[in-house]
Chain A
Amino acid sequence: MSPASTTNPPPTDERLTVDGLAPEGRGRVLLIACGALAREILAMKEANGWDHLDLQCLPAILHNAPQRIVPAVETAVEAARGRYAEIFVVYADCGTGGLLQAACDRLGVGMVEGPHCYSFFEGNAVFAARGEVTAFYLTDFLVRQFDAFVWRPLGLDRHPELRDMYFGNYETLVYQAQTDDPLLTEKAKACAERLGLAFERRFTGYGDLGGVLGRL
């Protein structure tokens, strides 16, 4: 049996959304990440043999409540301090308005550059150069969890008539694909239809994230 078979089974999206993911407790570097990035980080870890990286994820649903990200990261960093040689926060600014960067500076830990995952998945420079205003983005994770992150929190399951109040100014749903998965692409297309938006698929892979984690 390969050593990989001794690791925990991959977490479900539902668990990553609500609970996050506990670290395995081994490795030199602890990544404290958004649950929405878990599968991508685990895939890169396995593909590159990054056994020195341990992964802890905070509940992905914090994506919908940026004001809760900073305290959650602070708590996680403090709890892990002393147990790893290095701690790295795998969040971008993510709607915290610079507060997460300030917290990471205060805690002496690094974090991912950029405004949000949509930006670093495309590459921050490329994303900024596009200057898109009317695009609504979904990643692989958010396509899979569209109902939990978009449809239900906005009340569209109960009040579909609100759709255009939320999305009337958007034009296109851009699916930033981390993987080539025809089923996910079909699901993303269906999400665009539900929101009344045009559809565009952009393969991004892991964008800047691979380089960032590769340097740890």
Chain B
Amino acid sequence: MADDEIILSELDDEELVAQMFDDLYDGLKEEIEEGVNILLERGWTPYDILTKALVGGMTVVGADFRDGILFVPEVLLAANAMKGGMHILKPLLAETGAPRVGKMVIGTVKGDIHDIGKNLVSMMMEGAGFEVVDIGINNAVEKYLEALETEKPDILGMSALLTTTMPYMKVVIDTMKEKGIRDDFIVLVGGAPLNEEFGRAIGADAYCRDAAVAVETAKTLVARKHNQPAAH
């Protein structure tokens, strides 16, 4: 018998949230699900659990990834654990009318099937209160335009892992310009081989180096957009 086994239900709220931070960091999905259920039983709102326990924990993971303390496998495990918690909270969030910050359409560009980064961004954006419409991988410009037309988001997010596919982001942005709709949307781009210079060169509003930066950038740019005076 392990003497040091932690019984989550015996922890007070503060200790439990701290333990959930640790469990997220260690990628322990079942423990996260248990923690979420305990907090729900204690009367926490789904929104508070999401922001204070899950997003708070993932923010630590994101910071340590950025600092080179954690690597991709550990981040994926943490994300998987958070996903377990989100799965419980998502229907409840819809019922309880959690605040909605904005809407994003996100997808990986044509020729590229890598979606780990995109999925992390989607999850963290949802955690931050954005409605996310994920159009998946290998998206041609027509697919992006269709999603923009149908979903009318605030933000378009494009992702690429390959240096051979990242130039396609410019194709999408140039087509948006041709159609006169470029300025109707905030365009965020990301992916391992990108950088700020590339983001500027292709005409995106911002390059986001990781999911946490994507969330902060999205919040800032959406707030700025909403504060803009109507066109005159």
Interface residues of A (CB under 8 A from B): 66, 93, 95-98, 115, 131, 133-134, 154-156, 158-159, 162, 165-166, 169-170
A169 touches B193 (CB 8 A): no
Number of A-B contacts defined by CB within 8 Å: 44
Check if B71 sits within 8 Å of A93, measured CB to CB. Answer: no
Known interface pairs A115-B164, A159-B73; A97-B113 also in contact (CB < 8 Å): no
How big is the B interface, by class? 20 to 34
List B69-86 residues whose CB lies under 8 Å from chain A: 71-74, 76-77, 80
The yes or no answer to B137 lying at the interface (CB within 8 A) is yes
Are the C-beta atoms of B163 and A154 separated by less than 8 Å? no
Check A162 against B193 for contact (C-beta < 8 Å): no
Given the contacts A134-B113, A169-B137, A155 and B71 also touching, CB distance less than 8 Å:
yes
The answer to whether A66 and B113 touch (CB under 8 A), given A115-B163, A155-B72, A162-B73, is: no
In the assembled complex, which residues on chain A have CB atoms less than 8 Å from the CB atom of B134? Answer: none
Residue on B nearest A115 in the bound complex, by CB: B164
- Bound together, the chains give a CA A206 to CA B80 distance in angstroms of 41
Q: Smallest CB-CB separation from A166: which chain B residue?
A: B116
Contact B72 A154 (CB under 8 A): yes
For residue B138, CB closer than 8 A to chain A, the reply is: yes
In the complex, what's the smallest C-beta–C-beta distance from A160 to chain B, in angstroms?
11
Prevailing SS type, chain A contact patch: loop
Complex interface: chain B residues within 8 A of A134 (CB)? 113
A80–chain B nearest beta-carbon distance, Å:
26
Q: Does B166 contact A (CB under 8 A)?
A: yes
**Given the known A-B contacts A154-B72, A165-B116, A169-B114, are A95 and B77 also in contact in the complex, defined by CB atoms under 8 Å?**
no
